Structure 1
Amino acid sequence: MTARVLRLADIDAAGLEALLRARGLMLAWLAPQADIPGSYWGEAEAGLVDDRLYVRADTPVHSALHEACHWLCMDASRRAGLHTDAGGDDLEECAVCYLQIVLADRLPGVGRRRLMQDMDAWGYSFRLGSAQAWFEQDAADARAWLVARGLLPAD
């Protein structure tokens, strides 16, 4: 990763903690350099185990949101056995990406534009070449998936 992305240490993470706690997911802070349980990507990337999202101060905001959104998109039976690999199909992965962009607007100092830039910098890949182009022009199926499951309003 060459570009600098927002880390949890760069924002007031109280907003993220409150957002997740209200939905039943607990943020578990780890010491610097500690191994992150349930991290799919390793290094500083967020990890999921049961109802805990493991992070460090150097965890990228996009990573914490992405893994949290995986948890939010799961049903209770999948959450019960969750450890590291959130699973799901391609459409659910798109829904996770869509939801993390939407939720970024609820975090002071983040917002969707910055989150999409960080997603691109990290290496998320979209058919239209960028997270923003995908979100604005090619994500209707992801939004419909979230609406059908009550995770977003129908508008």
Structure 2
Amino acid sequence: MTETADLPQTLTEIVEDFHAVSERERLELLLELSRELPELPETYGGNYHEQMEQVVECQSPLFLAVEYDDDANTAQLIFSAPAEAPTTRGFASILQQGLSGLTYQQILDVPDDLHQRMGLAKAITPLRLRGMSAMLGRVKHNIRQHQGQRAG
């Protein structure tokens, strides 16, 4: 079992779910999670490309928005990925479920090797795994940038 002590509770549960099934079933679990990615809020409507940031490191078109609650120092993650990109949608769903509602610091404290802890190395190409790493990296970058703007 992989180390999860330094992960937030929801991410710990997701990682443990992946390790509770065989390597073959992990891809199915990822596809199941892809179907759980919420639809975009109406506020993003049809012009989400203009309101959201594209994570260009992903092989499939993935768009990200981070909504901040500075009173609570928490963030909500919003992702858009096409249905034809279930791996990308699965990774986005993991991050959305595992990080939304956490404090800025809790998100920043998530280890950068989260994508490796999922146990998907044999089921997913390294390039796709790096896409998940890029998503997390972009979320953290945006939070740090937001914190810097607030401090400045």
Q: Shorter-normalised TM-score: what interval?
A: 0.3 to 0.5
- Give the structure, 1 or 2, with the largest relative contact order (CA under 8 Å, sep 6 or more): 2
TM-score, with length taken from structure 2: 0.32
Determine which structure has the larger helix proportion and give its number: 2
TM-score, with length taken from structure 1: 0.32
